[in-house]
A = this chain, B = another copy of it.
């Protein structure tokens, strides 16, 4: 294992400096933004932010760029932006830690995802060339794909973790230049329905993975997650489950991040930015959206990560959203005496840089964060003091309550079906006994039909009982979440009188 910060062959650029750390001036850097050679990139600049971003002399120019020929003849905007620069002493105040994060839903389902192996190789090559500090991947369903990535990235990212859960797996993994000190996996209590085989989310063991890292004395809690997909926005049967997941995610982050200095969350949240689940998550944890906060953005318009330009996306699903939708996020917050600023956010734009195919059906999200120590603690955790939070929790609770009603109805229906199947079986048993006892023997006994009916009833009984048990569990979890939200609401309502 090669310690971070040490030059190593096969890895295009290494960050020099003892703990593999970048110290920059307090003012964030930028370079001249050119259009990517892959084309199709929409670029825009956040109003009011640009004038402050003056490139300090010597910034943004990589010392050595190996592997560039694979991308094209000259360093593109991509390269300027993604290339780490030399550590420098702070120009004012405390030194700044610059962290480059890559997040991607890889869509690597064995036998199902198109050109999976080629894409995974491409992802590996890019990650090795770009040498991010932290890579958060979702939908790496095959452990073999992870192992191959691990071998390929061992030089640049000596530390990694694959989160195992569920039948298929969580699909979540993390690659890091910095040591992973600890980890924990939390599997969401609800994740769709086992009988929705065509969607398959239930089998995936959707979870949130946490890895703890200490970079230059700063404790990072890094979360990676993937929530239940949305298959029909107009009539989203999975909304209550996704809201339970968003709630559990928020609660898990709140409870596990109390000793962290900085919290990072990357993942495919399967929610649009204005959806109640995102507002709940952000409101209840105080996490900030890197896209909304970025001083400079480059990529798909509105930060979309599921776009019609991507050849793997289902165009019919995106018909109501001609620009695409934004469902992949990098969120962050500083908890103790630190501030985090998003210097830059980028997305891929329908294809991987320099090649003809995309990494995945999702676009990659890349953030450059600046983390700086403050003179005094930043104060209480954000989010919980937001006066609008009570409204968001109320809204989410109403959706969970609607899901609870539906789950109760389904529990009742499946229970009734099981009872009917049992009654049919008992009736058949009585008829069979009567025949054996010689009653009604004047007519021939229809053995075949009888057997078929009995097996049918037995099958229905088993299935309906299984469903009943499943919906019983669903009711419990929805009810539990509704209860927790109610307690939070009560606390939020009591707070003003206390203060």
What sequence of 0s and 1s flags, for each residue 231-266 of chain A, a beta carbon within 8 Å of any chain B beta carbon? 000000000000000000001101110110000000
What sequence of 0s and 1s flags, for each residue 138-164 of chain A, a beta carbon within 8 Å of any chain B beta carbon? 000000000000000000000000011
Count identical subunits in the complex. 2
Whether A164 contacts B477 by the Cβ 8 Å rule is yes
Whether A255 contacts B184 by the Cβ 8 Å rule is yes
Whether A165 contacts B255 by the Cβ 8 Å rule is no
Judged by a CB distance under 8 angstroms, whether A229 is at the interface is no
Within the assembled complex, what's the spacing in Å between the Cα atoms of A182 and B285?
A: 13
- Distance in angstroms from A180 CB to nearest chain B CB is 8
Judged by a CB distance under 8 angstroms, whether A374 is at the interface is no
Within the assembled complex, what's the spacing in Å between the Cα atoms of A165 and B187?
A: 13
Whether B256 contacts A255 by the Cβ 8 Å rule is yes
Judged by a CB distance under 8 angstroms, whether A419 is at the interface is no
Q: Which residue of B lies closest to A256 (CB)?
A: B255
Whether B476 contacts A166 by the Cβ 8 Å rule is yes
Whether B165 contacts A189 by the Cβ 8 Å rule is yes
Known: A455-B455, A480-B165. A469 touches B255 (CB 8 A): no
Within the assembled complex, what's the spacing in Å between the Cα atoms of A10 and B170?
A: 51
Judged by a CB distance under 8 angstroms, whether A430 is at the interface is no
Interface residues on chain A, size class: 35 or more
Q: Which residue of B lies closest to A219 (CB)?
A: B258
Judged by a CB distance under 8 angstroms, whether A167 is at the interface is yes
Known: A469-B203, A473-B167, A476-B166. A210 touches B255 (CB 8 A): yes
Known: A165-B476, A451-B452, A472-B167. A183 touches B258 (CB 8 A): no
Within the assembled complex, what's the spacing in Å between the Cα atoms of A455 and B180?
A: 52
Query: Pick the contact of A181 from B163, B447, B451, B491 — CB < 8 Å?
Result: B491
Judged by a CB distance under 8 angstroms, whether A205 is at the interface is yes
Judged by a CB distance under 8 angstroms, whether A185 is at the interface is yes
Judged by a CB distance under 8 angstroms, whether A117 is at the interface is no
Q: Which residues of B contact A455 (CB under 8 A)?
A: 451, 455
Within the assembled complex, what's the spacing in Å between the Cα atoms of A186 and B207?
A: 12
A-B contact pairs, 15 of them (CB 8 A): A163-B480, A164-B476, A164-B483, A165-B189, A167-B470, A167-B472, A180-B487, A182-B255, A184-B255, A186-B186, A187-B189, A258-B258, A258-B259, A448-B448, A451-B452
In the A-B complex, list the 6 residue pairs whose CB atoms are closest, starting with the nearest. Answer: A258-B259, A164-B480, A164-B476, A255-B256, A455-B455, A167-B469
